Amino acid sequence: MLKKDEILRNLEEIVGKDFASNKLEDLFIYSQDPGASEPRPVDFIVMPKTTEEVQEIMKLANKETIPLVPMGGGLTLSGLIIPVKGGIVVDMKRMDKIIEINELSQYALIEAGVTTGQLLFYLNENYPKLQPPIPDAPPSATIAGNVLIHGSGYLSQKYGDHGAMINGLEVVLPNGDICKLGSCAVSKYWFARGPIPDLIGLFISSFGTMGIITKLSIQLFNKTRFREVVFGLLKDLKDIPNVLLRLTETGLAEDILLGMQDKPDWMKGYIFVIAYVTGESQEEIDSHIKVFKRIYRKSKARYMKTPERIKNAYLEKPIFAAAAADYRKGGGFEYVGANMPLEQIPEAYRRGVEIAKKYGIVPTLGSRLIGGTHNIVMFFSYSFNRADPKDLENARNALHETNKLALELGGIPWKAELVGQQLILEKMDPNYKKLFNAIRSTIDPKGIMNPGNWEV
């Protein structure tokens, strides 16, 4: 067993002196995230630049049985990159090369540290006809971190969640093997996920427990010339499923969101339907808007003519949705995301409001359609004062109760924090757990990859 200073020396030899540390002042920021999780101690932080460096770090950690936690932007809010059992946080941000943009097969081959803001900006500058699937998270979130948690964004109503848009991965396994998954395992093109056994899924929503992704290929999409947002207002929760079904069956919407919040005041008392239409000309857009207005009218929704200022905020990519939400002194904010079936959305909103009020938090709820009405991601947001332990505890209780609610209604908490993962595991088919454990212990027999997460 190596001593701490020997481990540090080994890490420095791999990545260089400037990119490995165990100084308290460097570790501090990695021991927490912007959400409501308790801070937890970190032993080392390392920032590799190449796949080979990741491989060397992995071999060292495996030999010495040191936990490894891969980290992108660290923005899930649910503490997924705060080590549970100490060890090394592998911060991927220096692996930030955009390796290839394939305009014909429409994919980007990138390193795992490329941020959503970086890829968006690069495409806007160099390939203005193409757009990447990105979340409404701050632009320092990485593409890898987002696709690896089944993220979603402004293209998801039309094309599905971002995990489904992965064409290929290069991963470093816990034994140090570098492994290619997807078409790139066979071909020089990273253009498709199959047709070979699909092992990419193992790396999605497993929260860094299977290995470290060093490269990935993500699908890109054509950008239309015009994009417009059309707001509808509903008064009654039970009208939600019908209006969403009517909107999606037109096939005209690129993105559909719902919002319900008591602040700012103008939003109180309504459910906002926020639908995006796209087209190649203003006439095309206008005709789509007409269709949506008709649907709103027939579905007991009111079309809302929106002030330019608000409209423009909603046309931003990413939408800075949090700008409209309630803030508390101290700036804390976390939400339960939960994937829900459409039939349970009205009940989920009703009970979500009850939970927020019970804990004295301004109700702030939203949702996004994933692949039509196949799947709805809901957001139950809770703000808190980070400097007030009681307020933090209050938010944690609200989050916990909401996780339970999602499961009770037949949904599944998304990017769940440790406690939420345990609630999911309690409900999970025992043979699913058995299979997952068998795969995990084969790939990672010493349990070095983000241990504590998904622990059966």
Ligand X SMILES: Cc1cc2nc3c(=O)[nH]c(=O)nc-3n(C[C@H](O)[C@H](O)[C@H](O)COP(=O)(O)OP(=O)(O)OC[C@H]3O[C@@H](n4cnc5c(N)ncnc54)[C@H](O)[C@@H]3O)c2cc1C
- Which residue in the shown chain puts its C-beta closest to ligand X? 145
299 binds ligand X per the rule CB under 6 A: no
Regarding 395 and contact with ligand X (CB under 6 A), the answer is: no
Q: Which is nearer to ligand X, 112 or 130 (CB)?
A: 112
Residue 144 CB, nearest distance to ligand X (Å)? 5
Under DSSP, is residue 340 helix (H, G, I), strand (E, B) or coil?
A: strand
The dihedral built from the CA positions of residue 232, 235, 240 and 245, taken in this order, carries a sign that is negative
Distance from C-alpha of 278 to C-alpha of 223, rounded to nearest angstrom: 9
Distances (CA, A) of 374 to 117, 249, 270, 348: 28, 12, 24, 16
The residue among 119 and 130 lying less far from ligand X, judged by its C-beta, is: 119
- Minimum Å distance from CB 134 to ligand X? 8
**Termini Cα distance of the chain:** 28
CB of 147 to ligand X, least distance (A): 8
Contact pick of 48, 67, 70, 83 for ligand X (by CB under 6 A): 70
73 near ligand X, judged by CB under 6 A: yes
* Binding residues for ligand X restricted to 133-152, rule: CB under 6 A: 135-138, 141-142, 144-146, 148-149, 151-152
Q: Which residues have a Cβ under 8 Å from the Cβ of 194 and sit 6 or more positions away?
A: 182, 183
Q: 277-296 b/e with 16+ CB inside 10 Å = b?
A: bbbeeeebbeebbebbeebb
CA 11/CA 14 separation, integer angstroms? 5
Sequence-distant (6+) residues with CB within 8 A of 18 are none
Q: Is 53 in the site for ligand X (CB under 6 A)?
A: no
Interface residue with ligand X among 46, 68, 71, 273 (CB under 6 A) is: 71
Among the candidate windows 15-23, 77-85, 96-104, 353-361, which touches ligand X by CB under 6 A? 77-85
Shortest Å, Cβ 297 to ligand X: 29
Residue 74 or 259: which CB sits closer to ligand X?
74
Question: Could you say which of 14, 46, 58, 75 contacts ligand X (CB under 6 A)?
Answer: 75
Nearer to ligand X, 296 or 379 (CB): 379
Residues 6+ apart with CB under 8 A from 11: 20, 44, 46, 57, 60, 88
Candidates 8, 11, 45, 77; binder of ligand X (CB under 6 A) is 77
In this structure, are strands 412-414 and 20-21 parallel, antiparallel, or unpaired? Answer: unpaired
61 binds ligand X (CB under 6 A): no
Q: Which stretch binds ligand X (CB under 6 A): 74-82, 238-246, 270-278, 386-394?
A: 74-82
Min. distance of Cβ 120 from ligand X in angstroms? 12
If binding is defined by CB under 6 A, does position 80 make contact with ligand X?
yes
Nearer to ligand X among residue 138 and residue 371 (C-beta): 138
Residues 178-217 that bind ligand X (CB under 6 A): 207-208, 212-213
Do β-strands 44-46 and 88-91 pair in parallel, antiparallel, or remain unpaired? parallel
Q: What is the dihedral of CA 431, 429, 152, 418, to 10 degrees?
A: -90
Total H helices, total E strands in the chain: 13, 19
Alpha-carbon gap, residue 97 to 205, rounded angstroms? 24
In the bound state with ligand X, the residue whose beta carbon lies nearer, of 151 and 241, is 151
Look up residue 38 and give its DSSP letter: P
Residues from 151 through 180 that contact ligand X (CB under 6 A): 151-153
- Which residue lies nearer to ligand X by CB, 30 or 292? 30
Q: In the complex, what is the shortest distance from the CB of residue 72 to ligand X, in angstroms, rounded to a whole number?
A: 3
If the CB atoms of residues 80 and 277 are measured against ligand X, the closer one turns out to be 80
The single residue among 68, 112, 220, 355 that binds ligand X, judged by CB under 6 A, is 112
- Does residue 48 bind ligand X (CB under 6 A)? no
For ligand X, which is the closer residue by CB, 212 or 353? Answer: 212
C-alpha span between 452 and 186 (Å, rounded)? 34
d(CA 415, CA 393): 20
Q: How far is the CB of 318 from ligand X (least distance, A)?
A: 7
Please state whether the peptide bond connecting residue 48 to the residue before it is cis, i.e. omega within 30 degrees of 0.
no
- Count of residues of this chain found to bind ligand X when the rule CB under 6 A is applied: 33
Ordered DSSP codes for 221-287: EEPPSEEEEEEEEES-GGGHHHHHHHHHHTT-EEEEEEEEES-SGGGTT-EEEEEEEEESSHHHHHH
Contacts of 320 (CB under 8 A, 6+ apart): 136, 313
Q: Any contact of residue 72 with ligand X (CB under 6 A)?
A: yes
Residues that bind ligand X (CB under 6 A): 69-77, 80-81, 92, 112, 135-138, 141-142, 144-146, 148-149, 151-153, 207-208, 212-213, 322, 450
